[in-house]
Chains A and B, each alone.
Chain A
């Protein structure tokens, strides 16, 4: 185990692995923080929809020989605002709108690829992720993004709680809910674009959904759910990358599998505490002591 870690982080030729780990850890941290709010607002599928839009824009960018991120980020941010708007108005139901946009951009992406480079290994990497995809710019960008997400998240922590828990109350008492929803959508879009090429367009939304759901099995406060999902996400990503390196498995899928395992463990813990009433026993024991 330690040998593998040494090999991964100390071999001088393996800068790509260190890059991938840095970007991945930051992306999973941001995704987990945003995910708590998105999952509770019933917006889980927005992440999935946005990653498909990202796939489409990546294909277009490659065909135009443009830098992928400069095309992807603005388009995906735009799509995020659009999806949010549609979810708020009741005319088209949110889930249908997301499905509409995500399949459309997937289809456009596939068409563009067919006409330009043709289906090749790159396309497969877009879909399922590749650890080799990170370059120096990505590292800089993800550090900047992570700092922005963390600062905004800490700064607006209580407001994000209020907007997630009860939007109409927040709005009625003068909190600018529209602004905070936009901030969440904006940060989600950037996080997805950054993580997409490593995790894959089809798998990136797992980083948003799994940690939040996992920590909600056990934690009962907003504060603890937030901290726990950040920790779960970072640990799962790291374990996933190490496993994928050691066993030569695809990175994105390995991370998701570790997340599934974590979810099952937390779920089991929840089941056990529920059926045995473990906290209650502990409580009465302390009461007896007093």
Chain B
């Protein structure tokens, strides 16, 4: 069974539908990129997949025994975080909270998982640094490590590269792609960077307040949707 299946699902705010007609399935190990213009319902869909929002109609099914506290999430940055006093280690370790339930303290296993992800993202040197003093790319790595602490199955990334310079952006994309390939972790990423999306993702979901395209990346590149969205850049 698929990890996540959307059947004719619709999501919205205050009774108004932001996005509807969602029919897609994500299997274990997929790298799905959700693309579309601003206001096309991408972030709403992410909230729906995280179960922060229940569907107005249709259904979202979780398969393979996926539980809500087994989803790693990399949210968009909030204003409060810019001057937040916290060490990188404290931030990363907090990714384990969902798995802890009511228990108050981190176990040895939680710390081991945190260490493993610190190694994986190569941020050992930053461990004791203050989160607010990191560069944008380093902050994103710390938050990615935190998300990896929360999951073994599914990683949801909401515009992970917004505000980063091109070099750091490519680094982060490569990193995410490597994690997807090496660990078989399913990745769902929201992005408006269509060029990188088609380069790294295995599947594309194109939204325009409804589902315009869902399928593998190769088919997407052949489709009319991508031609109009990718625009001039593909004609030369």
Contacts and interface: CB of A to CB of B under 8 A. Distances in A.
A and B found bound together? yes
Interface string A203-237: 00000000000001001111111000000000000
Contacts of B86: 161, 165, 221-222
B73 interface: yes
A166 B72 CA distance: 13
A174 B66 CA distance: 13
Given A174-B67, A225-B85, 10 more contacts: A158-B105, A158-B106, A166-B81, A169-B73, A169-B75, A169-B95, A219-B85, A221-B90, A222-B87, A224-B85
B126 to A, nearest CB: 13
Contact of A158 (B72, B97, B156): B97
Contacts, number: 87
B69 interface: yes
Contacts of A41: 80
29 contacts: A40-B80, A40-B85, A157-B104, A158-B94, A158-B100, A161-B86, A161-B90, A164-B80, A165-B80, A165-B84, A165-B91, A165-B94, A166-B81, A170-B97, A171-B50, A172-B52, A172-B75, A173-B69, A173-B95, A173-B98, A173-B150, A174-B98, A221-B85, A221-B86, A221-B130, A222-B86, A222-B87, A222-B90, A224-B85
A18 interface: no
Interface residues on B, range: 20 to 34
Q: Which 4 A-B pairs have the closest CB atoms?
A: A174-B69, A173-B98, A220-B130, A174-B98
B203 interface: no
Nearest to B146: A169
Given A161-B94, A173-B95, A154 B69 contact: no
A154 B104 contact: yes
A93 interface: no
Interface string B57-72: 0000000000111011
A175 interface: yes
A9 interface: no
Main secondary structure of the interface of A (DSSP, over half): helix
Contacts of B146: 169
A280 interface: no
Interface of B: 50, 52, 67-69, 71-73, 75, 78, 80-81, 84-87, 90-91, 93-95, 97-98, 100, 104-106, 130, 132-133, 146-147, 150, 156
Interface of A: 40-42, 154-159, 161-162, 164-166, 168-175, 216, 219-225
A274 B186 CA distance: 43
A41 B80 CA distance: 7
A161 B84 CA distance: 11
Question: Residue among A159, A219, A222 with the most chain B CB within 10 A?
Answer: A222
A216 B81 CA distance: 14
B119 to A, nearest CB: 21
Contacts of B72: 173
B97 A175 contact: yes
B28 to A, nearest CB: 19
A165 B83 CA distance: 10
A40 B98 contact: no
A172 B50 contact: yes
A40 B104 CA distance: 22
A166 B97 CA distance: 12
A224 B85 CA distance: 9
A184 to B, nearest CB: 15
Contacts of B133: 220
